[in-house]
Amino acid sequence: MKLLIHNGRVVDPLHGVDAVRDLHIVDGLVVAPARDFSADEIIDASGLIVCPGLVDLRARMRDPSPGHKATFESEGAAALAGGITTLCCPPDTEPVIDTPAIAERIRTRSARTLPAVYPLGALTRGLGGQQLADLATLDRAGCVGFSNGLQPLRDAQVQRRAMEYAASFGLTVFLHPEDAALRGNGVVHEGEISARLGLPGIPEAAETVAVARDLALVEYTGARVHLCQLTSLRALEMVSEARGRGLPVTADTAAHYLHLSERDIGFFDTHCHVRPPLRSLEDRDGLRSALRDGILSAVCSDHQPHEPDAKLTAFSHSEPGVSGLETLLALMMVLVEERQLSLTAAIATVTCGPAGLIGIDAGHLGSGALADVCLLDPGCRWILTAEGMISRGRNNPFIGREFGARVVRTLIAGETVFRLDAAGASYLSSANTR
């Protein structure tokens, strides 16, 4: 089976490619361009951007989970509509990913027509923060890193031991820097909005105190650490300084933090209830420049689908999180349109950047790579609506917003698994519709 993606603007940041050219695919793999390529199928990509399928470093599929928020199939379809072909799922599922059985169960969910899923294993058993999970065993079962999810490690000694143990086997530890006591019962950034709305605040120090501890322990144990979802300018400066000293630390943020600030909460918009909280405009701008400077090496969706009731309640009682799979790439393209970021850099943070962090062969279009490809129309204006979303969670603060670029086709191993029809409505390949 020979597929030709013809005349698109191929953007492959890992190989420094940004040129209008053909992409040749044979039996699901990208091959070097050949002069006499007699394709069985030709996709005309004129005017489109052809980039690697996205790698989302953090997406909660709510599966396994006893709740009714979503399933792997519903969220997998949403991911494909967002151009995401690989995703990494945190261990805070139910049951928690702390046994090889659960890890393998998640690994094998990646069918041929759904995104590939890589689990993060639990750092401590049941995410309880006391006893280490079987890290090496979980590593062999396919976990690409270890995390305690959003459960902070209260005990610094447990954190130190976990990091030392992980370092013994070259495993990467993913940490969500947040000091539990300083967060307290807070739900928004402590600043002008908490002052105005009378909502309990989470100080910036909840993040910086934790980052300081994390960095001190990286220095002490030599563990390779990835800091998840940084939100404050000050924390970014600390990470930048640590990287300058050669510490093995990387960091990411989620797309919504690059676009929203505490002010978007307006009058208690629970769709802007996220954890950690949206911070000030200065922090948002700091995140954007950290992206340009390479201090942040990935941007993820931090997808957290919720049922409507989870957001239809008092702000403090609402569940935090954004259903973000379908807007990850669109939001990165907004930064490109606003000249905040080059196209290559924007694509890199959602493809080879995150792939490199978890050490997988994905997120690029080099010869021999699996042909996971995203076709993006950079001239397609569309408005995100709740009804138009594929994810079972319609909790997205960008509903009603107009975007200037849209995923029109997604391929996994050379097979089209998502395609936007001419009317702008999306349809899914039969394998994905249930």
Partner 1 sequence: MTGGDIQFDRQGRLRHLLTLEGLSRQTILEILDLAESFISVGEREIKKVPLLRGKTILNLFFESSTRTRTTFEIAGKRLSADVINLNVNASAASKGETLLDTVRNLEAMHTDLFVVRHAESGVAYLVASHVPAHVHVINAGDGSHAHPTQALLDAFTIRRHKRAFNNLKVAIVGDMLHSRVARSQIQVLTTLGVRDLRVVAPKTLLPLKVDRLGVRPFTDLHAGIEGVDVIIALRLQRERMHGALIPSAQEYFDLFGLTPERLALAKPDAIVMHPGPINRGLEIDSEVADGSQSVILSQVTNGIAVRMAVMALILGPSVEARSG
**Could you list the active site residues?**
302
Q: 21 vs 401, which CB is nearer to partner 1?
A: 401
Q: Closest separation between CB of residue 307 and partner 1, Å?
A: 11
Site for partner 1 (CB under 8 A): which residue of 192, 241, 293, 338?
192
Q: Closest separation between CB of residue 103 and partner 1, Å?
A: 35
Is the Cβ–Cβ distance between 209 and 181 less than 8 Å? no
Is residue 37 near partner 1 by the rule CB under 8 A? no
Is residue 231 near partner 1 by the rule CB under 8 A? no
CA gap 274, 145 in Å, rounded:
23
Residues present in the chain in total: 434
Site for partner 1 (CB under 8 A): which residue of 18, 92, 237, 264?
264
Helix (H, G, I), strand (E, B) or coil at 386: coil
Is the Cβ–Cβ distance between 162 and 132 less than 8 Å? yes
Q: Closest separation between CB of residue 142 and partner 1, Å?
A: 39
Choose the binding region for partner 1 from 35-43, 207-215, 265-273, 332-340 (rule: CB under 8 A): 265-273
Taking residues 285 to 314 in sequence order and writing x for each that binds partner 1 by CB under 8 A, - otherwise, the string is: ------------------------x--xxx
Q: Closest separation between CB of residue 206 and partner 1, Å?
A: 13
Q: Closest separation between CB of residue 273 and partner 1, Å?
A: 10
Count CB neighbours of 337 within 10 A: 14
CA gap 98, 100 in Å, rounded:
7
CA gap 217, 117 in Å, rounded:
30
Choose the binding region for partner 1 from 16-24, 124-132, 197-205, 377-385 (rule: CB under 8 A): 197-205
CA dihedral 43, 49, 51, 54 (to 10 degrees): -110
Q: Write out the two tokens for 339.
A: 């000249």
Choose the binding region for partner 1 from 62-70, 76-84, 132-140, 261-269 (rule: CB under 8 A): 261-269
Side chain identity at residue 179, one-letter code: D
Measured between alpha carbons, how far apart are the two ends of the chain, in Å? Answer: 27
Is the Cβ–Cβ distance between 88 and 56 less than 8 Å? yes
Is residue 402 near partner 1 by the rule CB under 8 A? no
Is residue 194 near partner 1 by the rule CB under 8 A? yes
Q: 26 vs 205, which CB is nearer to partner 1?
A: 205
Q: 110 vs 395, which CB is nearer to partner 1?
A: 395
Q: 289 vs 316, which CB is nearer to partner 1?
A: 316
Q: 317 vs 381, which CB is nearer to partner 1?
A: 317
Helix (H, G, I), strand (E, B) or coil at 77: helix
Is the Cβ–Cβ distance between 309 and 318 less than 8 Å? no
> Is residue 43 within a helix (H) or strand (E), and if so which, with residue range?
strand 41-44
Q: Closest separation between CB of residue 397 and partner 1, Å?
A: 8
Is residue 203 near partner 1 by the rule CB under 8 A? yes
> Is residue 427 within a helix (H) or strand (E), and if so which, with residue range?
strand 426-428
Side chain identity at residue 280, one-letter code: S
CA gap 23, 3 in Å, rounded:
8
Is residue 269 near partner 1 by the rule CB under 8 A? yes
Q: Closest separation between CB of residue 232 and partner 1, Å?
A: 14
Is the Cβ–Cβ distance between 163 and 218 less than 8 Å? yes
Site for partner 1 (CB under 8 A): which residue of 267, 387, 421, 422?
267
Is the Cβ–Cβ distance between 73 and 36 less than 8 Å? no
Site for partner 1 (CB under 8 A): which residue of 1, 20, 195, 216?
195
Site for partner 1 (CB under 8 A): which residue of 112, 140, 154, 196?
196
Choose the binding region for partner 1 from 22-30, 129-137, 195-203, 224-232 (rule: CB under 8 A): 195-203
Choose the binding region for partner 1 from 67-75, 89-97, 120-128, 187-195 (rule: CB under 8 A): 187-195
Q: How many residues lie near partner 1 (CB under 8 A)?
A: 27
Closest alpha carbon to 286 in 213, 208, 350, 218: 208
Residues 358-397 touching partner 1, rule: CB under 8 A, are: 397
Is the Cβ–Cβ distance between 163 and 173 less than 8 Å? yes
Q: 82 vs 191, which CB is nearer to partner 1?
A: 191
CA gap 406, 77 in Å, rounded:
16
Q: Closest separation between CB of residue 376 and partner 1, Å?
A: 27
14 Cβ contact partners less than 8 Å away, ≥ 6 residues apart: 52, 348, 351, 352, 363, 364, 366
Q: Closest separation between CB of residue 24 and partner 1, Å?
A: 46
Interacting residues toward partner 1 by CB under 8 A: 190-192, 194-201, 203, 264, 266-269, 271, 309, 312-317, 397, 400
